[in-house]
Structure 1
Amino acid sequence: MRVIATTVASALVLVCATGASVYAAPPTGPPVETALAPVVELSADRLATAELMAAAKWHSGDPVEAPEREETVLAQAERSALDLDGDPATALTVMRDQIEANKVIQRGRHAQWYARPEQGPEGAPDPTGVRAELDRITPALVGALTEAGAGLSAPDCEAGLERNVRRVAAERGLDRRGRAALRMALSSVCS
């Protein structure tokens, strides 16, 4: 009798333990911080083009504002999101932030060069090459947002995003302005 009671008790403990793990939160894939890493890295890649574009526009006399180009980039982001079964609204919102952050860097450089022309860029980068790099990054960034999926609305999204920003900023040697622009570029990632 004692053996049966012990066996039944052991079975109940096993069932309860198994039941508890079944009702625990299901695994959500990689941690949010890991899921967000490509989003932050690609955003930093995109911001790295701002210096080159600022120099190209400085030499050509083109304004920082380029509404037609911005619409092209936004349309590309929306198409990419649809092709990847991602959220077009998220892609558009994040891409608008990316564009604005890029323009903040460009405006800052232009203001610096107007104030001190001797510090202006010597060479004029080819804007076509810079735009081609942006066209490569945009669908990759939308893909990273799509891959991050539920991580974008996870409770620890902001914290994971900030840890990635600090890591990428340190790895790339971003100054205060660069870190602020990166945070601006990512301000709508977590919903």
Structure 2
Amino acid sequence: MRVLAVLFAVVSGLLVAAGPSSASPQGLWRLTDLAAQRVAIADQVAAAKYGTPSPIDDPAREQQIYDSVAARAPGLGLDPADAVRFFRAQIEANKLVQRGLYARWDAHPSEVPSPRPDLSTIRPVIDRLNTGLLTELTSPARSSRSCPARQLVAAGMADVVHHFDALHARALQVATSATCTG
């Protein structure tokens, strides 16, 4: 709890120092938190796929996401290539978690989740997260000079809030690696 209080104080200081637009709902926290939620749902995706013919890499599904993002980006005033770059980071982060969990479960079969979730119930949640992420990409904070520092703090807070282990913390770093545009 003390770590969370310290992180909150640091973030608050950065937001105040960066100016009012950074403290608005269009700041980096919501984008980072949504990315963290997407990292967390990778556990369910891994549990649904583990031991089945469904591969971790799903180029057809990934391309559907990239095409959808690229098509929707201009309507939000976003560069399609930037939006796809951001979503590529989300997908790579998700696959990092899946691979890590597969390795853990291969080494410790008793840890494999049971019962397994149905992937068809997880995908709509991912789609909702993707919609939120795409909307949050419109944040002007992404192009500010202070974006890298504020992103680092936001990711640190998300790590604490979501109680991530090392695997998920690393995936969050991957997921947020394409946040800043400047």
Q: TM-score range by the shorter chain?
A: 0.7 to 0.9
Q: How far did 1:83 drift?
A: 2.2
C-alpha contact 1:32 1:154 (8 A) present in aligned 2: no
Percentage of pairs with the same residue: 32
Deviations, residues 145-174 of structure 1 (Å, cap 9, x unaligned): 11x13x222111011001111111111111
- The 1:179–1:33 alpha-carbon spacing in structure 2 relative to 1, beyond 3 Å, is farther
Equivalent residue letter for 1:31: S
What's the counterpart of residue 123 of structure 2? 131
TM-score, normalised by the number of residues in structure 2:
0.83
C-alpha contact 2:40 2:168 (8 A) present in aligned 1: no
Structure 2 gaps of 5+ residues are 1-17
What's the counterpart of residue 162 of structure 2? 172
Equivalent residue letter for 1:30: S
Considering only CA atoms, is the larger Rg found in Structure 1 or Structure 2? 1
Q: How far did 1:110 drift?
A: 0.7
Cα RMSD of the aligned pairs, angstroms, is: 1.8
TM-score, normalised by the number of residues in structure 1:
0.79
Equivalent residue letter for 2:178: S
Deviations, residues 79-106 of structure 1 (Å, cap 9, x unaligned): 2212212221211001000000000000
Distance 1:66 1:93 in 2: 17
Q: How many residues align structurally?
A: 163
Equivalent residue letter for 1:181: A
Structure 1 gaps of 5+ residues are 1-26
Deviations, residues 7-38 of structure 1 (Å, cap 9, x unaligned): xxxxxxxxxxxxxxxxxxxx975127961111
Aligned residue runs from structure 1 range 99-178, under 5 A: 99-146=91-138, 148-149=139-140, 151-178=141-168
Equivalent residue letter for 1:103: K
Is residue 80 of structure 1 aligned with residue 72 of structure 2? yes
Runs of 4+ in 1 over 3 A off after TM superposition: none
